[in-house]
Structure 1
C-alpha cells in the first residue's frame, strides 16, 4: 500500500470520527456525529462512506475475520446513529472508523497481504 492511499483512508476516518474538538475539552467528534443529526439520510451516508473504508481494506488483503470485525464496528455504529437524539452523542464516543483503521494498521504492520 502506498503512503498516499493510506493517508487518504486515514483522512476519511479522521473526518468521520475525530476531525474537530469540542472547545475546552479533549472530546473530539467528526462528520459521523453531525450526519446523525439528519434523520434517515445522514446515517445512510455515513455508513456508505464507512463501507468504502472496509472495501478498500479488503482490497489491501485484510482477512475475512478482520473484515467481519470491521463490518461489526460499522453495524454497531449504524445502530447507535439511528437512535433519535442519543445517536449523535453515541457517535462521539464510539468511533467505528478509527477502530477499523487500527485493524488495517495492524494488518499492514504484520506484513500480511
Structure 2
C-alpha cells in the first residue's frame, strides 16, 4: 500500500471521527459533540446506528492491515460506548465525554506512525 493510500485512509478515519464526535462546539466551553451524541438521544436505534457508523474506522484499520489486537481494542471502545448508551442520561453524557471515534482514529494514527518508524 502506498503512502498516499495510507494517508487517504487515515484522513477518512479522522473525518468520520470528527463528524461523529466533534462536529459542533458548545459555545463558551471546550466541549464538542457530533452526530454520535445526537443519535444517542434516540433510544436503542440511535446507539445501534452510532455503533455501526463507528465501525467505519475499524474497517479502515482492517484495510490497513492493523493488528487484530488493535482492532479488538477499537471494537471494545465501540462496545463500551454502546453499553453506556443504553443507560438513560448517563449514556447521553458518555456520548459527549467518551468520544470513542476520536479515540479509535487516534489509535489507528498512532499505530501507523509507530509502524512507519520500524
Alignment TM-score > 0.5, same fold: yes
Who is 1:58 aligned against? 62
More deviation in 91-100 or 5-14? 5-14
RMSD after superposition: 1.3
Unaligned runs of 5+ residues in structure 2 are none
Looking at structure 1, the residues matched to 65 and 16 of structure 2 have their Cα atoms a distance apart, in angstroms, of 19
Aligned residues: 112
Would you identify which runs of 4 or more consecutive aligned residues in structure 1 move more than 6 Å? Answer: none
TM-score under structure 2 normalisation?
0.87
Pairs within 5 Å for 1:56-95? 56-95=60-99
User: In 1, are the aligned partners of 2:13 and 2:56 still within 8 Å (CA)?
Assistant: no
- Following superposition, the deviation at residue 2 of structure 1 comes to 3.9
TM-score under structure 1 normalisation?
0.91
Matched position secondary structure for 2:41: coil
Looking at structure 2, the residues matched to 29 and 77 of structure 1 have their Cα atoms a distance apart, in angstroms, of 14
Unaligned runs of 5+ residues in structure 1 are none
